[in-house]
Chains A and B, each alone.
Chain A
């Protein structure tokens, strides 16, 4: 199972499922990462974490630890 954390820069993936629960999950979903949406991994921060993705036409940054909760294909 691939998660958003493992996707390399420049790739576009589709969100399959969000694991985890509670506030962090809600926050990620509130920001538009929901089932079926396309996510483009734009870059990694200079120190290796967090990552920057493009979702629903805007730029979002999230930590790799949180990106691990997002299953993609």
Chain B
């Protein structure tokens, strides 16, 4: 039988480093069912029968954050054989707060005090033996970074797991609280195993409904609650929290000798500059510029171009040596063995192009993920939230949403994936939904096409596209945070600003790889399938009553063209109800720059320039300026390309939320385009009709939603079923 050891501790306490050191390459990364919280487990090095479960970093076992609920559900439901509680030795007081809660669970606990090397340097000393006595569990000192003591800690944890000797609860609260807890424990009786009674008694006293609903028989403890609340003039939840800290304060004197009191640490000195009232914003701008410049403009573009146009294109050169692209090699191979045309098409333009669409983004993403891991590991990411919070929270977003949006202006796929760094579930979902509103690099050709064909290259078209994107984010934030789906879960911005750390290369690389790989695995299938479907409908159709594969130029006979004709009436109110525009918008889902190419093909050009300058005249003849702008707005805001949708699906980790996001984006795009066209027509030509009325009503409704009074609810809910 395998033994399970849960690794529990605060965020930023070195848990990930310890987990990596304990398990090595033997890891499995996934998600806790139905939620976006990452789940990691791995086999302990040298022990085939010991599984280490890495719980999310938490401060408490309260019922209010997703991570905490996930962690305690695991601890209560699965009951691991032992808990390895990692404690940051440089921040011991607050770290012990979680420890007091873990010890009450009735599961054997061993405590590992991390960062002993840092402590030694500062001259502080933690008295392990005294701490062990005061908390009733075994305590060892380690340095996860240097690797000292971790083997011993793991061995002791394994021994503990095998012995099954539970950790007695030594810490005591105020006499009155203890009395009440005793009487609740008596009421619980044999419905709960002896060693777990204290935990459940405390949770019942705290009015923790989530725990109560998991218990079979719940005794009525209202009288006890009322008594103690009157006696101590506070609510029970606060009483217990208070008592824990009072106990910790009472033992900390004897367990910790502080030498460095009052002195500024290196981290403090860095922080004085980095978040300085005047320097913070310029420094922030420089760091963000660097991240953007490297991961989007320069190295990122090279990587994406190399992958898309080189490896999955015509070929690339390696030190002067021409390496043919994958499609070229396979195409030649298929040609040589005389494969049928349709099969060649399926393999080359369907499957390989689909795989390319998935993998093409990976190199750029890895570069970005390395940066994110670096910013997170060194502690700057928390400062980003600190600096930007004031602006973003107005729109229901987190200060950390800045980074996804910035990256999203280059490419929405890594942009969406960058939302991973946001802790609050609500902020993260909101960020995922709105990031792709920012025009990404692939949408620029559409802007160039419309600006060139209809607006004579007017300077304001491109900036207006960004303005539309930013307004869409701001308005969506304000409106969505009032909706039922988001309202129940406001995130209190009470955030630790961890000390600055030197990040380790292995941690950064590992985090980069994990995120990149999870994109390929989870987003890959949807991208691949959608690309194949669109390829098939584009290149097959009925010509003169015969179903066959089509030449590029015959696209107007394709299944896609038929679909375009069937749905094109939907876009009549938007001003571009012809099937060609509809088809162009659909192929835009594969990759946004396809919109231009599709127009080219449909207007009789096999290949057009990136901005489609060949078709400017034709397009100008078939669309009015207002209709063209409406078309542009729709393509900017609607569902992004399949790759970005795959990223959204991956990050939402939930079908309902995924479809809500896609539906919201497309719905918003439709309404905004409708308003643009109808109001535009009213102004330019004086046309007034049902469409105009709908547009005016939409605008009124939109304004109402924007200014509707809204009160942030004080009730936090964690919906685990969603």
Query: CB within 8 Å of B: which residues of A?
Result: 18, 20-32, 34-35, 37, 43-50, 52, 56-63, 66
Contact = CB atoms under 8 A, between A and B. Distances in A.
A43 B383 CA distance: 13
Interface string B277-315: 110110000000000000000000000000000000000
A45 B245 CA distance: 28
Contact of A30 (B97, B281, B389): B97
B141 to A, nearest CB: 18
B242 A34 contact: yes
Contact of B281 (A44, A46, A50): A46
A21 B93 contact: no
A34 to B, nearest CB: 5
Contacts of B235: 21
A29 B277 contact: no
A23 B63 CA distance: 9
18 contacts: A21-B235, A22-B714, A26-B60, A29-B238, A30-B60, A30-B97, A34-B246, A46-B275, A46-B278, A46-B280, A52-B275, A58-B91, A58-B496, A59-B496, A59-B497, A61-B386, A61-B493, A62-B493
Interface residues on B, range: 35 or more
Nearest to B493: A63
Contacts of A28: 492, 494
Contact of A63 (B59, B389, B497, B498): B389
Nearest to B12: A58
A23 B64 contact: yes
B387 to A, nearest CB: 6
Given A49-B389, A52-B497, A61-B495, A37 B714 contact: no
Contacts of B90: 57
A20 B91 CA distance: 27
B94 interface: yes
Contacts of A61: 382, 386, 493-497
A43 B62 contact: no
A29 B241 contact: yes
A66 B492 CA distance: 8
Nearest to A28: B494
A26 B62 contact: yes
Contacts of B165: none
Interface string B241-282: 110011000000000000000000000000100011110110
A47 B94 CA distance: 28
Contacts of A27: 62, 64, 492, 494
B496 A60 contact: yes
A58 B389 CA distance: 20
Contacts of B60: 26, 30
A56 B542 CA distance: 74
Interface string B383-415: 000111111010000000000000000000000
Contacts of A22: 714-716
A43 B276 CA distance: 8
Contact of A37 (B245, B281, B390): B245
B271 A59 contact: yes
Contacts of B64: 23, 26-27
A18 B492 CA distance: 15
Contacts of B499: 58-59
